[in-house]
Structure 1
Amino acid sequence: MTAFPFSLSWLVAVLLLLLFVQRFRGDQRRFGNGVLLGLCTLVLLVGAALELDRLPRPVARAVTGGIVVGAVLSAVVVSGLLLATGVRMVRAEGGRLANLLSLLAGSAILAALGLLVACARAEDGPFRAVATAALLVAGYLSFLLVCFVGYALLYQRVATHRPVDFVVVLGAGLTNGSTVPPLLAARLDRALALVRSQAARGRTPVLLVSGGKGSDEQLSEAEAMAEYLTARGVPGERIVQERSSTNTRENLEFSRAMMERLRPGYRCVVVTNDFHALRAAITARRAGVRGEAASAPTAAYYWPNATLREFAAVLTAYPVTNLAVCAVLAVAGARAAWS
């Protein structure tokens, strides 16, 4: 009786995988690609779960129990890692709200596990309805987060070797208002490596550094980046500065306008840190920039918090879809639990 559902799950998974490959080949800079890959994996897991009915009952129970225990332990371990990196993040970078995301995420995982246990034991209808609605929404957001992280890691490893006319470096805040911090230095070093790689193939791309002057900065991020590059032997005439932007969207829109003016029909590569690469690529596609994003490494303690921040930014880029799905899941879960 389970052969048909499992065969159907295989078919759906293959169709999702083919759709992913088609969209990925068309444009890698889509978050929807990651969602398709996540759905393909989820369907395969559901099919595998259905196959447990084929096993002898004691074996099926043991496997199911092992999966549940493994899932809970994994959640606890992830929560612990998030809490530990969150504490280090606050100590190193300060206690601003943007630096608390790892701590909040780790606490939320533990809270969700507690709510799951309470919901399973509760007999009160209203509580079960609210708890089920909250857990379904949390499950949806967790699924999207896994899709985001998984696809971001995949995207960073699909290197583009196309010839480019520009290597665009996205700015970041300066230390003491004038000094390139390690985060930004990693981007610039990665950009230099890309320029050398292009030069080895006979091309001489222009370095376009993008970043305006913040209220607490003595000079623009673009100027500080240009000084960093010239100090490392890059001729000034090979550097173009975009000094007006204040965020990633403006970085890319203003840089696109400059590239179109300097070299119509250009190709480029956009350099940023690994946690930011996928969102930069998504934003570049929306801004009409002709090029992929390349990533520079980030300190391990900084990566989880920064990745969560990027995930939140991507979620807000699709407000209608995400709010609609959350609303449907909450209402359906509450009704099912109440009944």
Structure 2
Amino acid sequence: MPAYLLATVFLLLFALGVRRDRRRFGNAVLLGLSVLFLAAGLLGSLARLPDGLVDAVLLVIPAAAGLGLVASAVFLVANGVTMVRQEGGRLANLLSLTAGLAILVLIALLFAAVHFDSRALRALAGGVLLVAGYLGFLFLCFLGYAFLYGRLTVRRDVDFIVVLGAGLVDGDQVPPLLARRLERGYALYRVQEARGRPPRMIVSGGKGSDEQVPEAQAMAVHLAELGCPPERIEQEDRSRSTEENLAFSRVLMERHGPDYRCVVVTNTFHVFRSAVITRRAGVPGQVLGAHTARYYRPSATIREFVAVLALYGTLNVTVCLLLAVLGALAGWAS
């Protein structure tokens, strides 16, 4: 009963958090805690079942969890190999491969701690297990809430559509990833144009060291080729990061008046982190995602999760250190 009560409390806090601002990572954690305590309540209810059925459930759940963990590791490793083949061996493209290998190492460490009589090994396994559990819980919260947030649609007219930049290819060409953002943004523009309220398009992206022109310039050309009137396009060509994209675009939007509404367009994997940064930048608007190739999503999603953790770096490092110490002490004493 207490577990169900806590699940209800966290669900109510989640609803209040969403009502206040949908773009908070705390909403994801509250939803995750509600689901966690609901699961705990359901497990506690197993005692009411017949003994044979209880034994079967208690056998199936750990087995399913273990198989799911192994399957996830294999999938991530396979996806990592695909990423390297398709996108090259840059560090950002190795994240899914690294995550898959890390899960396999964790499984091996847990088996070793169980089968070998070593306090040091049990202490190491205990510390690593608690930290991995914490990060895994946050990752599931991130995935679940990012999925829900990504289902939002634009119901009200907006004054601006901000399209976030990405790297160019061949120095001045818009790659498919960025083209999809521009196409999604222009589709929104056309919907409002048909209602007689065409918004202004802001393309945001500076010039990288390997680029011949600012990303915003190439994006503006691509938008014009799609059919967007050039006079409705504004270029923000100084930014080098998502934080700068939104901060500098905010300045452009505020020149037209303080009471504006906007939509920020990026790719699906980047939506939730952009939403968190949008809130922090004081930009009043939601974030929408454009289609992303399937093979690209796992590594990109992990990268976004790590970036969100970094936004709350002090808190997460402190919690991880505390859990590592507690897990090590428990493993040593066992």
- TM-score interval w.r.t. the shorter chain? over 0.9
Aligned residue type for 1:199:
E
1:122-161 aligned at under 5 Å gives the runs 122-161=116-155
Q: What are the within-5 Å matches in structure 2 for residues 225-236 of structure 1?
A: 225-236=219-230
Structure 1 counterpart of 2:17: 23
Other-structure match for 2:212: 218
| Aligned match of 1:4 | none
Match of 1:299 among 274, 285, 293: 293
**Pairwise CA distance, 1:56:** 2.9
| Alignment match, 2:163 | 169
CA distance in 1, matches of 2:311, 2:37: 26
CA distance in 2, matches of 1:232, 1:297: 17
For residue 88 of structure 1, the aligned residue among 60, 82, 87 is 82
Q: Count matched residues.
A: 333
Alpha-carbon displacement from aligned partner over 1:263-296 (angstroms, at most 9, x marks no partner): 3211000000000010011001101111110100
2:78 and 2:84 mapped to 1: Cα distance?
10
Does residue 1:72 correspond to 2:72, yes or no? no
Partner SS state of residue 33, structure 1: helix
Match of 2:275 in 1: 281
Single out whichever of 182-191 and 121-130 deviates more from structure 2. 121-130
TM-score, structure 2 normalization:
0.97
**Mapping 1:252-331, distance limit 5 Å:** 252-331=246-325
- TM-fit CA distance, 1:54: 2.4
* Correspondence 1:44 to 2:41: no
Deviations 1:129-151 (A, max 9, x none): 11100111011111111111111
Shift of 1:201: 3.0
- Cα RMSD between the aligned structures? 1.1
Large movers: runs of 4+ above 3 Å: none
The one-letter code of the counterpart of 1:133 is G
Unaligned runs of 5+ in 2: none
SS at match of 1:168: strand
Could you state the TM-score of these two structures normalised by the residue count of structure 1? Answer: 0.96
**Alpha-carbon deviations, 1:205-247, whole Å to 9, x = none?**
0000000111111111000000001112111100000010011
The Cα shift of 1:118 comes to 2.0
In structure 2, do the counterparts of structure 1 residues 171 and 148 end up closer, same or farther at CA, with 3 Å as the change threshold? same
Instruction: Give secondary structure in 2 for the equivalent of 1:262.
Output: coil
Distance 2:51 2:318 in 1: 40
Secondary structure of 1:209's aligned partner: strand
Identity %: 56
Cα distance in 1 for partners of 2:180, 2:154 equals: 19
Separation in structure 1 between the aligned mates of residue 271 and residue 41 of structure 2, nearest angstrom: 33
d(CA) in 2 for partners of 1:121, 1:18: 44
Letter in 2 for 1:39: L
2:202 aligned with 1:199, yes or no? no
**Other structure's SS at 2:106 match:** helix
- Rounded to whole Å, the distance in 1 between the matches of 2:126 and 2:292 is 37
The reply on whether 1:14 has 2:8 as its aligned counterpart is: yes
Rounded to whole Å, the distance in 1 between the matches of 2:155 and 2:112 is 53
